[in-house]
Amino acid sequence: MTKKIGIITDTNACLDYFDHDYDIPVLRSMIHLGEEEYLDHIELTAEQFYEKIKADSSLFPRTSQPPTEKMRETYLAMKEKGYTDLIFITISSHMSGIYGAAQIASENIPDLHVHVFDSKSVAFPQAKMVLTAAELARNNQPLNKILKTLEHIRDHNHIYFAVETLVYLVKNGRLSQAKGFMASMLKIKPLLHISKAGQVENVEKIRTFKKAVDRVIEMFLEETEGKNIEPFICHAHNETTKTYIETKLREARPDINAIFTMPLTPAVGAHAGPGAIGLGYYIKPS
């Protein structure tokens, strides 16, 4: 029997901010702001989200992942379309429970094989995996080739980022309380990254946001020297810093023709906090 492979992802890939024509269901998180709740991007876009929390600092955002039942419904809907295999590319399992829930939801569905793939990342790298998998599936590439390609992307990307405040990462459980408390006391603006294991980790302790951003640029340039890369910038409503980074990169590397830029969707921005900015790269196959 010929396989028909479908691709699914979650809201943390920020796929809504990419132009594409693939059939990719997005399992969406709920954004909680005070007494109100919104479905990510559908009921609250990135721009609306950052405007709300900027206008009212008492609105501390929280998120809840898509329910397991919704995941199962999505699997069954894809099966009805004739898909025999699904690849669900999730946010890092260290950042969310979506990966585990996706596996539970896939149990006992006859004639449908669900492969839950841990991106060990978020935002652009996750979206890169999703869109690449969709293109390969469209071209009738076999499942094992698609999964191998996803592993390559997962193992050849890196994101550094700087945040204006650690409050969001700490309160939403993405950074330890102890590290967050000490950094707040010392007014540190740490340089963070997503490790190969898919965890948010502190790289260096820096005193100001501007210096943290400059160090992010410096480390990016050091790591990508002589490599064939796709660079990207992800930001939480921080056009000024985004433009600053673009300018600095083009001054240092005139050979960089395109830098993909994207907003962090509310589900991701709720954890990074307003003003956060990430700079990263994917190393293309040689």
* pLDDT of 69: 97
Q: At which of 126, 155, 184 does a domain end?
A: 155
Say if residue 225 is in the same domain as residue 260: yes
Say if residue 242 is in the same domain as residue 224: yes
Say if residue 112 is in the same domain as residue 213: no
The Cβ of residue 213 has, within 10 Å, a number of other Cβ atoms equal to 23
Domain CATH number, residue 98: 3.40.50.10440
Answer whether residue 176 is part of any domain: yes
Which regions in the chain score pLDDT beneath 70? Answer: 1, 170-187
Say if residue 129 is in the same domain as residue 102: yes
The Cβ of residue 14 has, within 10 Å, a number of other Cβ atoms equal to 26
Say if residue 207 is in the same domain as residue 220: yes
Is residue 30 within 8 Å of 237, Cβ to Cβ? no
> Which phi and psi (to 5°) does residue 115 adopt?
-105, 110
- Residue 135 in 3-state DSSP? helix
* pLDDT of 44: 96
Say if residue 132 is in the same domain as residue 192: no
Domain CATH number, residue 195: 3.30.1180.10
**CA 146 – CA 166 distance, rounded (Å):** 37
* pLDDT of 168: 72
Answer whether residue 127 is part of any domain: yes
Q: At which of 95, 123, 155 does a domain end?
A: 155
Answer whether residue 58 is part of any domain: no
Say if residue 9 is in the same domain as residue 128: yes
Say if residue 80 is in the same domain as residue 218: no
Regarding beta strands 157-162 and 191-194, do their DSSP bridges make them parallel or antiparallel, or are they unpaired?
A: antiparallel
* pLDDT of 187: 67
Regarding beta strands 85-90 and 5-10, do their DSSP bridges make them parallel or antiparallel, or are they unpaired?
A: parallel
**CA 35 – CA 112 distance, rounded (Å):** 39
Tens digit of each residue's pLDDT (9 = 90 or more) over 145-179: 999 999 999 999 999 999 887 777 766 665 655 45
* pLDDT of 235: 95
Q: At which of 125, 155, 185 does a domain end?
A: 155
Q: How far is CA 93 from CA 96, 101, 105, 234, 250, in A?
A: 5, 10, 15, 20, 34
Say if residue 139 is in the same domain as residue 169: no
How many domains are contained in the chain?
2
Please enumerate in sequence order all residues whose Cβ is within 8 A of that of 152, keeping only pairs 6 or more positions apart, or say none.
285
- Residue 88 in 3-state DSSP? strand
Residue of 276, 35, 240, 282 whose CA lies nearest to 154: 282
219 lies in which domain range?
Answer: 157-283
Say if residue 147 is in the same domain as residue 161: no
Say if residue 248 is in the same domain as residue 123: no
Is residue 6 within 8 Å of 86, Cβ to Cβ? yes
Is residue 37 within 8 Å of 30, Cβ to Cβ? yes
Answer whether residue 38 is part of any domain: no
**Tokens 């996803």 identify what position?**
150
